[in-house]
Chains A and B, each alone.
Chain A
Amino acid sequence: MAKKGSSSRVWLLVHSWLALPIWAFLFFVCLTGTIATVSHEIMWLVDPGMRALAPSDDAKPLGYDALLDAIERQRPGVAVEDITPPTASGFATTFDATTPEGVSVHLHVDPYTGAIQGERSGFDFPQFIRALHGWLLTPWSGGGFAIGWYLVAMLSLPLLGSLITGLVVYKKFWRGYLNPRLRTANGARIFWGDLHRLAGVWSIPFIAIISLSALWFLIEAALWDSGVSISTEGAPAVVAREHVPTGPRPDRLSVDRAIEAARRSLPGFEPRYIRTPGDAYATMTMQGRGAFPLLDEKASVNPYTYELAGARKISDLTGLELVTESMRPLHVGDFGGLWLKLAYFAFGLTLTAMVFSGMMIWTKRTAQATAKLVRAVRSTSAFPEPAE
């Protein structure tokens, strides 16, 4: 018994030391990551231009070609590059475009009327918070991953370690489900301890998902930076020279027709991202959810003949790719609508609170130990040291 007791003391020490020295950094990363899960929804609340409610229950959104015509009428000459359909009902359709002055803008367009109701350029909050959380705004240069990416992804190790050692230390942790306990009247040390354990058992799967996917991000960066690729995707499809017409400039391509072309190969395909060709020899590419809820299927369409130039179905992915490519959606929680995002946000706050409560437990416990130590030091220094 004594042996068992001492081994759990060791595990508790390991558990305490895994995150304590870096708790403030881990706290910062957890908090920014939590905000990032709902960054688009925050913008929806802040920016009325991003909101677009259906005028009536039976209202149907306009097609993409009609929306593009409406944009051309309102902003003549603007060049649309990508289209992001509403991520949920109540959101506007976003067109990323370049103005004739050469400035990139996000145009938020009402999908029912085609009215440009919001325009943003430059600083983008969702992009900023993602960069702050994911790589601490450190620069990407030299074709490799940013140094901040490694610093953040390395936190997966203490996080995963904390989860495992926490479960070892917290015996019969399932009692936290059956008999949840949060004592508020017994002092700070008891309160933070109860909160830490309660939050921990309720977010075991979440912490496992976040730490394992973050560990993959570390491996992914290391693989990329050492020139190892596991992708079977291949180079993007291009348009053959003979398909590119010579003569008058062709009319603007029809996005609706391209989607129809993609649906011939991917039945029911609903794009959640559309990219217009980057040059005269490039295809139009689209991606949208397929049979597997976590991952997108991709299609590329010849913009002159409207033939399918390439498609990547879920079944084209290797088992390894299925796992590794699922890591990002699992980490960010953007694959199940608003309620899943809110669940990720809530568990993110819980995890952030666990980092904080872990530190509080340690300082409360240590404060007492330190006070004892200081008393001991004072009593020894009461005896004058011999002169040197």
Chain B
Amino acid sequence: MSATTRRAPVSHWWLKWRFHLGALMVVVPLACLPNYLASVALHSGESGLGSREIGERTAGPWTVRLAEHELTPPGPHETPQTVKTFELALTGPAVTEVRAAYIAIGRPPESAPGVIFTGSPYRMAADLPVPDGTAPDAELWLTLEGWNGSVHQTSLPLSEASPVSAEWLKARAAAKPAGAP
């Protein structure tokens, strides 16, 4: 048998089907579907507060729940600035008594308490800017401001709030040569 006829079924298949291979693009949405559904559940709060709940934190009379939005290191999100998104839920009396909640790296002055959380009292989010050179052992500060004007703060280590961010900062610090600005 000649080589030509041995190859024939394959080349015939190729000739017949090559222009229908664009149908394989359907694989893209099919492959993305689980991730899409998980993202819908995350953004609608159906899978709970954020991707990983950090736990309850109390500042003065108020208790809030804090969570990491996604288990990813800081990066650009809607703007080119490097940010890490956190979610927060007011609980109990805080729902009606707290006017605003803020998050910052390092203890902020009361006049500039950091980035404000936006959304409903039951699930709000803030994109916290993570500047270059942030120490992996930095502290995150939550500031709660009441309708009555009172302000209460609490803090937690960044490594506890977002282990993946602390690891990322450690890796960046290690990658930078000693003495570099």
Contact = CB atoms under 8 A, between A and B. Distances in A.
Interface of A: 20-26, 28, 77, 79, 81, 97-104, 121-124, 127-128, 131-132, 136-139, 141-144, 148, 151, 227, 244-250, 278-282, 359, 362-363, 370, 377, 381, 384-385
Contact of B28 (A20, A143, A151, A384): A151
Given A23-B19, A142-B75, A28 B122 contact: no
Contacts, number: 139
Contacts of B95: 77, 100
Contact of B19 (A77, A131, A359): A359
B19 A20 contact: yes
A154 to B, nearest CB: 12
B123 interface: yes
Nearest to A388: B3
Contacts of A98: 45, 119-120, 122-123
A121 B43 CA distance: 11
A26 B20 CA distance: 11
Interface in B89-126: 89, 95-97, 99-100, 116-124
Interface string B10-32: 00000100111111011011001
Contact of A227 (B22, B25, B28, B80): B80
Contacts of A151: 25, 28
A36 to B, nearest CB: 14
26 contacts: A97-B120, A98-B122, A100-B122, A102-B45, A102-B48, A102-B49, A102-B89, A102-B122, A103-B44, A121-B44, A121-B46, A127-B40, A132-B29, A138-B32, A143-B76, A143-B79, A143-B80, A144-B76, A148-B28, A246-B149, A247-B148, A248-B148, A279-B118, A280-B99, A362-B19, A381-B5
Given A23-B19, A25-B22, A247-B148, A136 B32 contact: yes
B22 A26 contact: yes
A24 B118 contact: no
Give the 10 A-B CB pairs with smallest separation, nearest first. A143-B76, A278-B118, A24-B23, A98-B120, A79-B120, A24-B22, A25-B22, A137-B32, A25-B25, A104-B44
Nearest to A97: B120
Nearest to A22: B22
A79 B96 CA distance: 11
B100 A279 contact: yes
B22 A246 contact: no
Nearest to A17: B19
